[in-house]
């Protein structure tokens, strides 16, 4: 898929640099020409010889050996490629890129390039969470820099958290998504995810246990196929999917307004667990417990049904509207009835009964109900469900 593509890979100084050697191999396997810049700190982790041998190209390390233009100018190095990838992207190189430094060959090329830039951040989770790093990240994404990862998990120091560099094949997928625009190029996608919080008073709310894992994975999978994707999400702990516009809301009414603002879209996938009811009134102050008084009654009113609203025939109805049905019994029959009632095109039905492990878990067992019948998918990870759904959507919109 990457045949003939030229990638400039900047390897900065982090322990994850060892994965970049495998990344070079994976890119070359797919036909890409890989040129590498190894920073001084990067060379403390992997050797120039390894990088050179795997890339089968000269390794570039020194700005001043390039400025005499005897070999290749740094401006040419920065532009003579289809994409610049920084892996690992350390907190330091992200800060320099955000601030516009050109203090060595890597930062000079990053400032001089007019090609898309993809960063694969890798650092300790505290460094990743620092306001400074997050502000730099926001600056960079705001300028169109693409990000893949970082993943959560065990870090080299023995700590656990967000900061692991994405695996080489995930970085390859992100590169392919950027370079090969994918089957959903020119399509707009809208995805809802997570729970909604319906306030009772300033400190209490009605919510639910939705993790947002499935909805976020779907947004990532649609973006990976090239769709211009907006994710409208309630409060979740899941990291923002790469390359996706994320709109954060709390209530169902805010979610509906954000969805309307994201239209027109070619496809809408409603994976959010929207609260069916909200308190009629939200108390302005925290409701106090009074000695001997009865517990307060909370009057509820129905929330808007976002899936049904998006499914209504009209000029702004997405061509394809997909909903979920979380059921604890009669899964398919209930999903079929729900599809008709809501007016959507497909329902992905899943069993969330106690013991199914679906809510908050990493796996899902899906049955797709559409006008032509039922398609049963074997149990798979939520990421695989997302990829399979994105592929089905791409086929339907083709």
Q: Binding pattern to ligand C5P, positions 40-79, x when CB under 6 A?
A: ----------------------------------------
Among 136, 230, 303, 358, binds ligand C5P (CB under 6 A): 303
Q: Kindly state the smallest distance separating residue 327's Cβ from ligand C5P, in Å.
A: 8
CA–CA dist 344, 336 (Å, integer): 11
CA–CA dist 136, 91 (Å, integer): 9
Q: Kindly state the smallest distance separating residue 293's Cβ from ligand C5P, in Å.
A: 33
Rule CB under 6 A: is residue 270 a binding residue for ligand C5P? yes
> Do 219 and 241 touch, CB atoms closer than 8 A?
yes
Residues numbered 147-176 forming contacts with ligand C5P, rule: CB under 6 A: none
Identity of the residue, 83 or 218, whose beta carbon is nearer to ligand C5P in the bound complex: 218
Q: Kindly state the smallest distance separating residue 375's Cβ from ligand C5P, in Å.
A: 17
Among 24, 200, 307, 389, binds ligand C5P (CB under 6 A): 307
Identity of the residue, 3 or 371, whose beta carbon is nearer to ligand C5P in the bound complex: 371
Chain-centroid distance of CA 326 in Å reads 23
Q: Any idea how long the chain is?
A: 398
Q: Binding pattern to ligand C5P, positions 188-217, x when CB under 6 A?
A: ----x-------------------------
Q: Please tell me the count of residues contacting ligand C5P according to CB under 6 A.
A: 14
Identity of the residue, 38 or 220, whose beta carbon is nearer to ligand C5P in the bound complex: 220
Rule CB under 6 A: is residue 359 a binding residue for ligand C5P? no
Rule CB under 6 A: is residue 91 a binding residue for ligand C5P? no
Residues numbered 329-358 forming contacts with ligand C5P, rule: CB under 6 A: 338
Residues numbered 313-332 forming contacts with ligand C5P, rule: CB under 6 A: 323-325
- Token pair 């979920």 is found at 324
Give kind and range of the element (H or E) at residue 391.
helix 382-397
Quick one: 243 exposed, middle or buried, by C-beta within 10 A (0-12, 13-18, 19+)?
buried
Residue 138 backbone class (left: φ over 0; alpha: ψ -120 to 50; beta: rest):
alpha
CA–CA dist 157, 154 (Å, integer): 8
The one catalytic residue among 136, 208, 303, 364:
208
Cβ atoms within 10 Å, residue 252 = 25
Rule CB under 6 A: is residue 219 a binding residue for ligand C5P? no
Rule CB under 6 A: is residue 369 a binding residue for ligand C5P? no
Q: Kindly state the smallest distance separating residue 84's Cβ from ligand C5P, in Å.
A: 38
Among 305, 363, 370, 384, binds ligand C5P (CB under 6 A): 305
CA–CA dist 78, 115 (Å, integer): 8
Q: Kindly state the smallest distance separating residue 104's Cβ from ligand C5P, in Å.
A: 49
For the CA atoms of 150, 151, 154, 155, the dihedral, rounded to the nearest 10 degrees, stands at: -10
Identity of the residue, 50 or 356, whose beta carbon is nearer to ligand C5P in the bound complex: 356
Beta bridge partners of 36: 9, 59
Rule CB under 6 A: is residue 364 a binding residue for ligand C5P? no
Identity of the residue, 96 or 216, whose beta carbon is nearer to ligand C5P in the bound complex: 216
- Residue 322, both tokens: 């997909």
Rule CB under 6 A: is residue 274 a binding residue for ligand C5P? yes
Residue 248 backbone class (left: φ over 0; alpha: ψ -120 to 50; beta: rest):
beta
Quick one: 276 exposed, middle or buried, by C-beta within 10 A (0-12, 13-18, 19+)?
middle
Identity of the residue, 146 or 392, whose beta carbon is nearer to ligand C5P in the bound complex: 392
- Residue 133, both tokens: 């790093």
For the stretch 178-217, what's the b/e string if a residue is b when 16 or more beta carbons lie within 10 angstroms of its beta carbon?
bbeebbbeebbbbbbbbbbbbbbbeebbbbbebbbbbbbb
Residues numbered 239-268 forming contacts with ligand C5P, rule: CB under 6 A: 252
Active site residue 364: no
Quick one: 374 exposed, middle or buried, by C-beta within 10 A (0-12, 13-18, 19+)?
middle
Rule CB under 6 A: is residue 272 a binding residue for ligand C5P? yes
Q: Kindly state the smallest distance separating residue 270's Cβ from ligand C5P, in Å.
A: 4
Rule CB under 6 A: is residue 218 a binding residue for ligand C5P? no
Q: Kindly state the smallest distance separating residue 273's Cβ from ligand C5P, in Å.
A: 7
Which stretches of the chain bind ligand C5P, using CB under 6 A?
192, 252, 270-272, 274, 303, 305-307, 323-325, 338
| Residues labelled catalytic | 208
């Amino acid at each position: 898929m990457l045949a003939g593509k030229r990638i400039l890979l900047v390897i900065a100084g982090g322990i994850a640099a060892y994965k970049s050697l495998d990344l070079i191999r994976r890119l070359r396997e797919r036909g890409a020409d890989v040129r590498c810049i190894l920073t001084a700190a990067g060379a403390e982790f992997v050797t120039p010889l390894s990088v050179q041998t795997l890339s089968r190209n000269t390794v570039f390390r020194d700005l001043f050996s390039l400025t005499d233009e005897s070999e290749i100018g740094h401006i040419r190095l920065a532009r003579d490629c289809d994409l610049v990838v920084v892996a690992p992207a350390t907190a330091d190189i992200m800060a320099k890129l955000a601030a516009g430094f050109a203090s060595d060959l890597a930062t000079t090329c990053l400032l001089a390039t007019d090609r898309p830039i993809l960063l694969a951040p890798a650092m300790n989770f505290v460094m990743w969470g620092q306001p400074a790093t997050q502000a730099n990240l926001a600056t960079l994404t705001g300028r169109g820099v693409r990000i893949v990862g970082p993943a959560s998990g065990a870090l080299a120091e023995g700590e656990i958290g967000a900061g692991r560099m994405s695996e080489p094949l995930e970085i390859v997928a992100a590169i392919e998504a950027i370079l090969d625009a994918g089957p959903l190029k020119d399509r707009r996608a809208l995805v809802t995810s997570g729970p909604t919080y319906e306030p009772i008073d300033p400190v209490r709310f009605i919510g639910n246990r939705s993790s947002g894992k499935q909805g976020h994975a779907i947004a990532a999978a649609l973006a990976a196929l090239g769709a211009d994707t907006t994710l409208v999400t309630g409060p979740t702990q899941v990291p923002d999917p790469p390359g996706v516009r994320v709109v954060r809301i709390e209530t169902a009414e805010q979610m509906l307004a954000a969805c309307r603002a994201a239209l027109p879209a070619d496809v809408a996938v409603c994976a959010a667990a929207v609260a069916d009811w909200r308190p009629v009134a939200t108390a302005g102050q925290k409701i106090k417990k009074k000695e001997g008084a009865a517990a307060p009654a909370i009057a509820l009113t129905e929330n808007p049904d976002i899936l049904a609203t998006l499914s209504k025939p009209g000029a702004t109805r997405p061509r394809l509207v997909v909903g979920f049905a979380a059921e604890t019994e009669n899964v398919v029959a209930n999903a079929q009835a729900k599809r008709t009632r809501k007016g959507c095109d497909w329902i992905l039905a899943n069993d969330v009964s106690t013991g199914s492990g679906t809510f908050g878990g990493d796996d899902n067992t899906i049955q797709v109900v559409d006008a032509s019948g039922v398609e049963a998918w074997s149990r798979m990870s939520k990421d695989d469900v997302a990829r399979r759904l994105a592929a089905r959507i791409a086929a339907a919109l083709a």
